[in-house]
Chains A and B, each alone.
Chain A
Amino acid sequence: NFMLTQPHSVSESPGKTITISCTRTSGSIANHYVQWYQQRPGSAPTTVIYEDNVRPSGVPDRFSGSIDVSSNSASLTISGLKTEDGADYYCQSYDGHTVVFGGGTKLTVL
């Protein structure tokens, strides 16, 4: 099985842009889609990006996803940060048999 490695925490100021990385430890990042989920404290996860770079209806275009084959990683970029973006973010992917979540990244906007 593979793992998805995320930074434990990141922080940035309101209005700035931040990128959260998700590195796949084995197998190509391009072989299976990457999803990103936001989880605010005390709430269920919500999907902010699925299938690498697709935003569900209602998710602002400040959120974008990408993959980088050279580093075997995916990234979630949030521009124009708002305090409400402060949450845990999880990446997730697949290897043909098993769904794997990253350990999560706590984003602090202050």
Chain B
Amino acid sequence: EVQLVQSGAEVKKPGESLKISCKGSGYSFTSHWIGWVRQMPGKGLEWMGIIYPGDSDTRYSPSFQGQVTISADKSVNTAYLQWSSLKASDSAIYYCARAAPGSHESFDFWGPGTMVIVSS
């Protein structure tokens, strides 16, 4: 059974750093792209970027390029999303999603999401 397990909710202060995770199981982790999606409170879904854990090839949405870093550690089947300096506007739920076989834009499985609250 395909599963994406995400790290728990975070409460941080502006300016702090953060790294959240997404661990895949039940499939070949290195053979599927993993994407990250933001959902701000009461808003829709926004694509942030994707990574291919097999070789760490990474693509970013222009809206998020330079704002976050996406990485993966294939030895532990885990993808990461990190910030070096959080802002209040980064408060959102962040979902990881697995891309369908042979695709990097068709998501077929989603993680439960990680809520990030940034507040002074």
Contacts and interface: CB of A to CB of B under 8 A. Distances in A.
Interface string B99-115: 01001011111111100
Interface in B80-120: 95, 97, 100, 103, 105-113
Contacts of B62: 98
Contacts of A110: none
A90 B63 CA distance: 19
A93 B105 contact: yes
B44 interface: yes
Contact of A103 (B44, B100, B105, B111): B44
Given A45-B95, A46-B110, A47-B110, A101 B46 contact: yes
Interface in B53-91: 59, 61-62
Contacts of B37: 45, 101
A92 B45 CA distance: 9
B47 A35 contact: no
Interface of A: 32-33, 35, 37, 39, 44-47, 50-51, 54, 56, 90, 92-94, 97-104
Given A47-B110, A92-B105, A99-B61, 4 more contacts: A45-B110, A50-B106, A99-B47, A101-B47
Interface of B: 35, 37, 44-47, 50, 59, 61-62, 95, 97, 100, 103, 105-113
25 contacts: A32-B105, A33-B103, A35-B107, A37-B110, A39-B45, A44-B95, A44-B111, A44-B113, A45-B37, A45-B97, A46-B110, A47-B107, A47-B108, A47-B110, A50-B107, A56-B108, A94-B105, A98-B61, A98-B62, A99-B35, A99-B61, A101-B44, A101-B46, A104-B44, A104-B45
